[in-house]
Amino acid sequence: MEVLVAAGAWAMSPISNYLSTQAGSRLFPRYENSTFESNLFEQLSSSAHVYFPGSEGFNASTTRWSTLDAPNVTITVEVANEADVVEVVKFANEHGKPYLVVNNGHGAITTVGKLQNGVQIWMRQLNSVAIAPDSQTATFGGGILAKDVTDGLWAAGKQTVTGACECVSLLGAGLGGGHGWLQGRHGLVSDQFVSLNMVMADGTLQTIDQNHELWWAMRGAGHNFGIVTSVTSKIYDVEHPNWAFQMLVFTGDKVEGLYTNINEELLRNGTQPVDIMHFSVFINNPALDPVNPVIILFILQEGVDVVDVKYTQSFTALGPILAQAESGDYRDLPRWTAMAKNDDVCKKHGLANTRFPIDIQAYDIPAQKKVFDVFASAIKDTPALNSSLFLFEGYSVQGVKSVPPQDTAYPFRESNLLLAPVVAYKEDGEQLAKKAEALGEELREILHQASGQKELRTYVNYAFGTEGVKSMYGYEQWRQDRLHALKKKYDPQGKFSFYAPIA
């Protein structure tokens, strides 16, 4: 501990900042030869970096999308290759230091706050895309973001399932299932995996594929078992490059009509057409409605230049206050839906961003009215919460449902809708935090009660952190037994138990 404090003070000095931004500097071990950090640095490749508190790299690597319960990190190691990951894990194990792998810091579950005095393993350099000679698969670096996957493949006329948001990593999303634009065609992000190269809790490297005992668990509960340094996934020809987008904005008095239409015209009892997706959001926008939140509806259609009027006419008839339509290609979807790399939703604003997810089958109209009213009055009563929003995601689901549920650890393939209030606020004491959490829980509970589902289904990658293991990984006893047995075998000391832990 003393050494760390000393190293921390030293780390504030200009020479540390110089070293921590120089690729391959070997000065560091000679300068401070006896510390944990200097010995670690000696093991790393020439493109790796070590960042201490106070340095630019440390700040960049530890600034998170949500400030709530951020992990406590004393050093960031920016790894440059698989061997570096092995070295960090072995070294940290030898020195009894906990560690957490991070790509872009968008993982917001509060359980990561249990990491104290930890080593952060920053994966941003592991962002390669290599298409196999047969063009059926591609191998991606373990830290790659969705946008880099899409752009890397698009140039070759290929695509694969990623999260919808450009700033989220392929594996941060994929290890918990991974929802995205192409899931109706091909399934979840994790359904594309063919093999994973992974650093295990003991620092050894293993290839996890269909012949490995962990194959099942890595597709839904994968954050719990190791650090994936690269993934080989199925890729597809771009068969329908063009897409169309229709945005309609409504005042809150249309909430019942709007969700009735979504149920009837789009969702259709779980048979939403594979080429159609819809998203809606309750959001505060005083320029459009100074009193209440507005409801934004996005309808996206694949393979056309204009969204078919049969999907839009009932919504147009409701009388939107704003309408906008565009045509483009697959790469435009994040921009249209405000989920592109530079959009506000991706940025780190210094807010606690807390989500309270629930999967359901269809909209209950009185419940939609009730959550709108509760949401509207809560952000009026507590202006500190007025950056909050409520997200309703309606991807097509054919590809997800085509995989037998027992084949993977992802537990909720039958779900049609992924909903989550996102309660956002600048942290300002316990009272506000409690109020925010209570609001998120209340909104979710209204939907849960109305869903008729006994059990709460929580998408693990949106979880707040208090939902419990069954809610994130499934209620069947065989799932729980299998996950716990694998965890006991492959990570008995809980090295990978900070993000949505099984145990």
| 3-state secondary structure string across 413-482 | CCCCEEEEEEEEECCCCHHHHHHHHHHHHHHHHHHHHHHCCCCCCCCHHHCCCCCCHHHHHCCCHHHHHH
Query: Which residue type does 493 have?
Result: Q
Please identify which residue in 86, 88, 123, 307 interacts with ligand FAD, judged by CB under 6 A: 123
258 interacts with ligand FAD by CB under 6 A: no
Q: How far apart are CA 188 and CA 177, in angstroms?
A: 6
> Which of 50, 175, 283, 299 touches ligand FAD (CB under 6 A)?
175
- From 158, 153, 180, select the one nearest 399 (Cα to Cα): 180
Nearest distance in Å: CB 92, ligand FAD: 15
Per-residue contact flags (x/-) with ligand FAD for residues 338 to 377, judged by CB under 6 A: -------xx-------------------------------
- Residue number with the shortest CB distance to ligand FAD? 172
Which region among 99-107, 153-161, 366-374, 430-438 touches ligand FAD (by CB under 6 A)? Answer: 99-107
Compute CA distances 85 → 82, 200, 445, whole Å: 5, 10, 41
DSSP 8-state secondary structure symbol assigned to residue 169: B
114 binds ligand FAD (CB under 6 A): no
Q: Which of 172, 252, 399, 421 binds ligand FAD (CB under 6 A)?
A: 172
The residue from 17, 103, 301, 471 that contacts ligand FAD (CB under 6 A) is 103
Nearest distance from C-beta of residue 415 to ligand FAD, angstroms:
13
102 binds ligand FAD (CB under 6 A): yes
Q: Up-side HSE of residue 54: CA atoms within 13 Å toward CB?
A: 14
Residues of this chain, 147-166, that bind ligand FAD according to CB under 6 A: 163-165
Do residues 278 and 266 touch, judged by C-beta distance below 8 A?
Answer: yes
Stretch that binds ligand FAD, among 52-60, 94-102, 299-307, 437-445 (CB under 6 A): 94-102
Element (H, E) at 94: helix 82-94
d(CA 124, CA 119): 15
Q: Which is nearer to ligand FAD, 121 or 376 (CB)?
A: 121
Instruction: Calculate ∠ Cα 237-241-245, nearest 5°.
Output: 145
Residue 235 forms beta bridges with which residues?
Answer: none
388 binds ligand FAD (CB under 6 A): no
Verify binding: residue 107, ligand FAD, rule CB under 6 A: yes
Which stretch in 220-228, 267-275, 405-413, 444-452 sits in contact with ligand FAD by CB under 6 A?
220-228
Q: Least distance (Å) from ligand FAD to the CB of residue 144?
A: 9
CB of 179 to ligand FAD, least distance (A): 4
Interface stretch with ligand FAD, choices 29-37, 106-114, 204-212, 470-478 (CB under 6 A): 106-114
173 in contact with ligand FAD (CB under 6 A): yes
Sort 481 into a burial class: Cβ within 10 Å, 0-12 / 13-18 / 19+: exposed
